[in-house]
């Protein structure tokens, strides 16, 4: 029985990998505000040097479909790391619909429709309540790549 | 320090649950690993759903060095000349994210009227909240205290500055009410202190992180200080008034000196000022219930004063007290140490 199952999986997976193969690379950056020569302050995503409480960390998740077919109904999922708080409105991603979870990824909703129960009352979730972010993309064509990102503050 | 931290860790675990509202002053403890993995699910042509994961990206939170010193003295602390064990209270809090030692230094401002003598720093080691003999002296400028930012009980320490109020001002003149002495308690991270140079906030000091973090980062408040002020009080001011009252003569109706009804008693009140200036000096003496004041008998330093409330400073008010009260009002002037007055008045035994 066991052998048959493994064989079945193998035969199913092999042609599958050739059709659409999405891979993810997750990179963390230190987000700093840098004052330019002209006085304007711009945000820079720098290499992670040192991180201390209060610092802002940016995570960029690069995706690529190295298969030969389109991957559809793609959902990229990222939990908010422990000891960090999600920064409001920092999740971005081209051609993606972003939803959030405040219950460790069991349910997702848009930020404006995400509620939590606090002290017995239903309240709109605050950024610190958010536990997971999901970027939903309709499709990633064969050979296509892109990235989504979000920022957190180290507690 | 290791021991302190492990003990503190244990404590934190139990205490956080109890005192969840008493938020720690710190953020993520130094050495904490923050890891993050993204995952994706997608549908293949043909309808099969599959999943993929990114590699895990992780980072270690470094030690952040910050300290906060606050004065617990709501206002100037009232003192008086020569008073011992005069106490200013401060709280030093490790607002970083690890165990750190802080060197304490006491300085006295030279711009106020007086400096405290024998001023020392003590840590409230017995946790009583007040200075006691059980507290430990911290040598100013070299002694340090260890604080664990991640502990509810070890993150802050109560520190006392204890000194003796001098008997005169710095310029040897007498202390007067309102004179001030300002003292400053400074705490600086020992890690930064050992650096020997003035760091810039954000500077990374390698190899010295605690709590498992490889390095420490200098925070914006790697040193902090707070002031406390002693003030010579009005109530317990430096100046003292010595008053002695004595009977200097008794004349009985028969020409003798016995105390019988009809005897006239001459009282003398000696008043002297010591240890500073006094304002609003008023001497009053209530005539005993079984005596009658002898009209016109008040003298000040030998000069007679009238009983009426008029231009001179002496008044007899027959409505005050049982048998009336003699008042010598010297409030118009300030009298310095060494000034003395002799008041005499007479009363007759009923």
Helical H runs in chain B? 2-18, 190-195
**HEC assignment per residue over B233-246:** CCCCCCCEEEEEEE
- The pLDDT of residue A48 is 83
Is it the case that residue B290 has pLDDT exceeding 50? yes
Could you say which of B36, B60, B61 has the minimum Cβ distance to residue A78?
Answer: B36
pLDDT tier at A18, thresholds 50, 70, 90: low
The pairing of beta strand A145-154 with beta strand A84-86: antiparallel
Residues B106 and B163: beta-carbon distance below 8 Å: no
Residue for token digits 């994706």?
A: B40
Domain locations in chain A?
A: 19-154
Residues of A in contact with B60 (CB under 8 A): 51
Identify the DSSP state of A101.
E
Residue for token digits 């992180």?
A: B209
Comparing A12 with B77, which gets the higher pLDDT?
Answer: B77
Domain locations in chain B?
A: 63-232, 240-349
Stretch B281-304: mean pLDDT: 89
Residue range B255-284, pLDDT digits in tens: 888 888 888 889 898 888 876 677 788 888
Residues A140 and A68: beta-carbon distance below 8 Å: no
DSSP for A88-113? TT--EETTEEEEEESSTTS--B-GGG
Stretch B66-88: mean pLDDT: 92
Residues of A in contact with B45 (CB under 8 A): 19-20, 69-70, 72
- Report, in angstroms and rounded to the nearest whole number, the Rg of chain B calculated over CA atoms: 35
CA distance B208 to chain A (A): 14
- The pLDDT of residue A70 is 92
Residue range B35-62, pLDDT digits in tens: 999 999 999 888 889 999 998 998 999 9
Please name every residue paired with B39 in a beta bridge, in sequence order, or none if there are none.
Answer: A77, B53
- The pLDDT of residue A131 is 95
CA distance B209 to B201: 15
CATH architecture of B63-232: Sandwich (2.60)
- The pLDDT of residue B22 is 34
Identify the DSSP state of A127.
G
CATH architecture of B240-349: Sandwich (2.60)
CA distance A100 to B37: 16
Residue range B141-190, pLDDT digits in tens: 999 999 999 888 899 999 999 999 998 999 998 888 889 999 999 999 99
Q: Is B34–A49 a contact, with Cβ atoms under 8 angstroms apart?
A: no
CA distance A69 to B57: 29
CA-wise closest residue to B346 among B300, B307, B297: B297
A47 CB neighbour count, 10 Å cutoff: 8
Residues B66 and B92: beta-carbon distance below 8 Å: no
Element (H, E) at B51: strand B49-53
CA-wise closest residue to B80 among B184, B176, B183: B176
- The pLDDT of residue A10 is 45
* Residue A26 at interface with chain B, using a CB cutoff of 8 Å: yes
CA-wise closest residue to B92 among B64, B62, B72: B72
Stretch B286-301: mean pLDDT: 89
Element (H, E) at B283: strand B281-286
Residue range A64-112, pLDDT digits in tens: 999 899 999 999 999 999 999 999 999 999 989 999 999 999 999 998 8
Could you say which of A23, A72, A81 has the minimum Cβ distance to residue B34?
Answer: A81
* Interacting residues of B266 by C-beta distance below 8 A, sequence separation 6+: B247, B248, B249, B250, B297, B344, B345, B346
* Residue A50 at interface with chain B, using a CB cutoff of 8 Å: yes
Stretch A47-55: mean pLDDT: 87
3-class secondary structure, B95: coil
Q: Which CATH class is domain A19-154?
A: mainly beta
Average per-residue pLDDT for chain B: 85
Q: Is B40–A70 a contact, with Cβ atoms under 8 angstroms apart?
A: no
* Residue A49 at interface with chain B, using a CB cutoff of 8 Å: yes
- CA angle, residues B22, B24, B26, in degrees to nearest 5: 160
Is it the case that residue B349 has pLDDT exceeding 90? no
CA closest to B38 among chain A residues: A78
Q: Is B36–A59 a contact, with Cβ atoms under 8 angstroms apart?
A: yes
- The pLDDT of residue B18 is 33
- Output the CA torsion B255→B260→B266→B268 (10° steps): 140
Q: How far apart are the first and last CA of chain B?
A: 81
- The pLDDT of residue B1 is 37
- The pLDDT of residue B275 is 66
């Amino acid at each position: 029985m066991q052998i048959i199952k493994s064989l079945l999986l193998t035969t199913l997976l092999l042609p599958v990998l050739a059709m659409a193969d999405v891979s993810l690379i997750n990179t963390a950056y230190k987000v700093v505000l840098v004052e330019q020569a002209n006085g304007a302050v711009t945000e820079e995503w720098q290499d992670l040097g040192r991180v201390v409480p209060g610092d802002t960390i940016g995570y960029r998740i690069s995706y690529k479909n190295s298969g030969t077919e389109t991957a559809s109904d793609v959902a990229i999922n990222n939990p908010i790391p422990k000891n960090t708080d999600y920064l409001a409105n920092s999740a971005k991603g081209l051609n993606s619909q972003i939803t959030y979870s405040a219950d460790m990824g069991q349910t997702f909703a848009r930020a404006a429709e995400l509620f939590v129960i606090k002290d017995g009352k239903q309240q709109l979730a605050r950024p610190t309540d958010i536990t997971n972010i999901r970027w939903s993309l309709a499709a990633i064509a064969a050979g296509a790549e892109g990235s989504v990102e979000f920022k957190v503050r180290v507690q | 320090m290791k021991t302190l931290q492990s003990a503190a860790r244990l404590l934190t675990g139990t205490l956080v649950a109890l005192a969840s509202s008493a938020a720690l002053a710190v953020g993520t403890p130094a050495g904490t690993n923050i890891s993050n993995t993204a995952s994706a699910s997608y549908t293949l042509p043909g309808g099969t759903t599959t999943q993929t994961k990114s590699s895990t990206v992780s980072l270690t939170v470094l030690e952040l060095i910050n300290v906060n010193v606050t004065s617990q003295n709501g206002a100037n602390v009232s003192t008086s000349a020569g008073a011992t064990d005069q106490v200013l209270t401060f709280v030093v809090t490790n607002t970083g994210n690890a165990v750190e030692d802080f060197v304490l230094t006491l300085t006295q401002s030279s711009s106020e009227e007086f400096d405290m003598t024998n001023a020392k720093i003590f840590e409230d080691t017995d946790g009583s909240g007040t200075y006691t003999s059980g507290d430990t002296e911290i040598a100013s400028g070299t002694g340090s205290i260890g604080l664990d930012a991640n502990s509810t009980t070890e993150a802050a320490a109560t520190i006392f500055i204890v000194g003796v109020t001098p008997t005169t001002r710095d310029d040897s003149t007498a202390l007067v009410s309102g004179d001030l002495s300002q003292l400053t308690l400074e705490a600086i991270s020992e890690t930064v202190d050992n650096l020997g140079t003035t760091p810039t906030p954000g500077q990374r000091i390698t190899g010295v992180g605690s709590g498992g973090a490889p390095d420490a980062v200098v925070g914006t408040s790697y040193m902090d200080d707070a002031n406390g002020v002693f003030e010579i009080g009005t109530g317990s001011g430096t100046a003292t008034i010595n008053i002695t009252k004595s009977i200097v003569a008794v004349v009985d109706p028969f020409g003798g000196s016995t105390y019988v009804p009809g005897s006239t008693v001459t009282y003398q009140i000696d008043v002297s000022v010591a240890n500073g200036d006094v304002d609003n000096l008023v001497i009053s003496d209530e005539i005993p219930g079984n005596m009658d004041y002898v009209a016109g008998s008040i003298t000040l330093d030998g000069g007679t004063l009238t009983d009426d409330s008029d231009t001179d400073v002496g008044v007899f008010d027959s409505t005050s007290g049982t048998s009336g009260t003699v008042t010598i009002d010297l409030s118009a002037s300030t009298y310095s140490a060494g000034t003395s007055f002799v008041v005499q008045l007479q009363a007759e035994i009923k």
